[in-house]
Amino acid sequence: MTENNAATTNSGRVAIVTGGSKGIGRAASARLGREGYSVVIGYGGSKDGAEQAAKDVEQAGGRAIAVQADVADETGVAALFDRAEQEFGGIDVVVNSAGIMPLAPLAELDLEVFDRIVRTNLRGTFVVDQQAVRRVRNGGAIVNISSSLTRLARPAYSAYAASKGGVEAITLILARELRGRDITVNAVAPGPTATSLFLDGKPQELIDRIAAEPPLERLGQASDIAEIIAFLAGPARWINGQVIYANGGSIA
């Protein structure tokens, strides 16, 4: 299928992407725009980044708006979904990409930071998925973002990996709760990916060492993950209730 034909096929489809102002969420938004989607860029604090992400979608061939919402606040998330329906007429795809990753050994992590990680990564996914279940049209898809760290088990990532383990549990159960509806629910679990979430605060020596670990000997790119998200959002109708580990071969 050519890009032009893909855009025509998907021109009526609407996606909400949380965490869409940067990183994987921004790349996924632009990739869906290339497929002809109308995209609602959900963002927490980066208005400028979200507005630029919306421009990326439009330049790729889709339509887009940016809407602020705290993913852990049910009222704000409901308003985000309301806006998508008002602007574009419905919702077909929800990509749950909002997340934070403060790092510290378990014994040293401030519990307030732990609560913030759980609030954004785990509660945020739960709240957004609740609205998605109620609003996504038949033929749609819910794509949650987990992490290969649930299996890589690196020191200092205990809180982050625990929150993402919860995301995987939500994903697998929700897929089964939607029996009888034509809606798929999957999670993508990236390995180390060259976004600010991974790169910020790490010395170059550590980044280089981690980049050399997979057989492909590089970090993932946000565009690598966006391709998988776009596949799960549209053509991958027979993939359901799965966690897709996207890490260049670091783990199976």
- DSSP letters, 36-64, are T-EEEEEESS-HHHHHHHHHHHHHHT-EE
Q: What token pair was written down for 226?
A: 């966006």
Cα–Cα distance for residue pair 243/232, rounded to 1 Å: 11
Predicted confidence at residue 10, as pLDDT, reads 65
Cα–Cα distance for residue pair 113/205, rounded to 1 Å: 26
Cα–Cα distance for residue pair 27/171, rounded to 1 Å: 22
Chain-wide mean pLDDT for the chain? 93
Residue 219, helix vs strand vs coil? coil
Of residues 74, 17, 64, the one with CA closest to residue 42: 17
The predicted model gives 44-68 an average pLDDT of 95
The predicted model gives 9-31 an average pLDDT of 92
Q: What is the pLDDT of residues 161-207, one digit of tens each?
A: 999 999 999 999 999 999 999 999 999 999 988 888 888 878 898 88
**34 CB contacts (<8 Å, ≥6 apart)?**
3, 6, 7, 60, 61, 62, 230
160 is catalytic: yes
CATH fold of 3-191+223-246, please?
Rossmann fold (3.40.50)
DSSP 157-210: -HHHHHHHHHHHHHHHHHHHHTTTSSEEEEEEEE-SBSSHHHHTT--HHHHHHH
Residue type, 36: G
Kind and range of the H or E element at 125?
helix 124-135
Is it the case that residue 5 has pLDDT exceeding 90? Answer: no
Domain ranges for the chain, please list them.
3-191+223-246
pTM of the model: 0.92
Q: What is the pLDDT of residues 112-152, one digit of tens each?
A: 999 999 999 999 999 999 999 999 999 999 999 999 999 99
Predicted confidence at residue 11, as pLDDT, reads 67
Predicted confidence at residue 210, as pLDDT, reads 86
Select which of 43, 157, 160, 245 is catalytic. 160
Predicted confidence at residue 9, as pLDDT, reads 58
Predicted confidence at residue 202, as pLDDT, reads 85
CB count, 10 Å around CB of 4? 10
The predicted model gives 54-79 an average pLDDT of 97
Predicted confidence at residue 206, as pLDDT, reads 87
Largest CA distance in the chain: 54
Of residues 154, 38, 144, 30, the one with CA closest to residue 86: 38
- Helices 124-135 and 74-88 pack at an angle, to 10 degrees, of 40
Predicted confidence at residue 252, as pLDDT, reads 59
